[in-house]
Amino acid sequence: MYGLSFCFILLIGLKTKEYIYKYQAINATQQIRNGEIEYYVNNPDVKEAWLIRMPKGYIHSADIEEDDTYHMDVFKEYYGINPKMKLIFYNK
């Protein structure tokens, strides 16, 4: 009985540690991206905006593929980026 409880507590602890690591990785990447976005908002004459991608396997909807024009336009509008600017998402 106590062995099973210990196993569950250990499993919960490991999963919690994993989620904290993922949160920290995503947060660090988002902070970099926010700085990049701020630069491109303040410099609307730049032709291409290079934005960091989220870590692979963590968030599937944070990056936009090049041929997805609808979401590119929504992303630009949401962040106030020049609509004529080309967005390029790069891996860290």
Q: Which two tokens stand for residue 29?
A: 């990447």
Residue 38's pLDDT is 98
Give per-residue pLDDT as tens, 28-45. 999 999 999 999 999 999
Rounded Cα distance, 8 and 91, in Å: 36
**Banded model confidence at residue 92, pLDDT cuts 50, 70, 90:** confident
Residue 62's pLDDT is 67
Rounded Cα distance, 28 and 54, in Å: 10
Rounded Cα distance, 45 and 85, in Å: 8
Delimit the domains of the chain by residue range.
2-90
- pTM of the shown model: 0.81
Q: Which two tokens stand for residue 86?
A: 């080309």
Residue 51's pLDDT is 96
Give per-residue pLDDT as tens, 12-23. 999 999 999 999
Give per-residue pLDDT as tens, 44-87. 999 999 999 988 877 666 678 889 999 999 999 999 999 999 99
